[in-house]
Amino acid sequence: MSGKFISIPGALLVLICFFLPWLTVSCNGQELGQVSGMELAVGSDVVSIDDQFRLVDLAAVGGDVARLVIPLTGIVGLLLGIVALMNRENERGAGVGSLIFGILGLLGFALEYLLLRQAGEVPGIAISPAYGLWASIAGLLLLTIGGLLMTILGGRTKT
């Protein structure tokens, strides 16, 4: 199986899951709300506590435009997969690009994880990953694996 058939669904998964819940925020065991990747990037106020405090302020998960790298990775991976699908001669180059962007996306998630861990915890507020975050990471892994396969197997003819 060619890597383009792995990286294209992976890129689509990254794009779709960016708009699904990435984090679940709860206070003393009661769920307050969920935050999508898009809301994390633009810093919208998802939920307020007693109309005095903003959840984004309490949880330190406000807007960071650098998070927009994740859907950009998905868009570029999708375009590279389509290029490889349309022209077999460009498959190896598209594979290298998909591999690089997949790794950059995964490194972005690793950096984000480290920054959230260093932000410290707010007493009573718990932030836990949601299904959109895990699916986005899975999509980036698929994009990376597909890029690696396109790089290794790209341009070879079947015998």
Q: Tokens at residue 74, please? A: 């998905």
Q: Return the SS3 of 6.
A: helix
The H or E element that residue 7 is part of is: helix 4-17
Task: For residue range 68-97, list pLDDT tens digits in order.
Answer: 888 999 999 999 999 888 888 888 999 999
What torsion, rounded to 10 degrees, do the Cα atoms 97, 103, 105, 110 define? -170
Q: Which residue stretches of 60-90 are H helix? A: 69-86
Report the pLDDT value the prediction gives residue 67, as an integer from 0 to 100: 81
Task: For residue range 26-62, list pLDDT tens digits in order.
Answer: 877 788 778 888 888 877 655 544 444 444 444 444 5
Report d(CA 69, CA 88) in Å as an integer.
Answer: 28
Report d(CA 10, CA 8) in Å as an integer.
Answer: 5
Average of per-residue pLDDT across 7-11: 92
Report the pLDDT value the prediction gives residue 60, as an integer from 0 to 100: 45
**pTM exceeding 0.95:** no
Strand partners of residue 34: 24
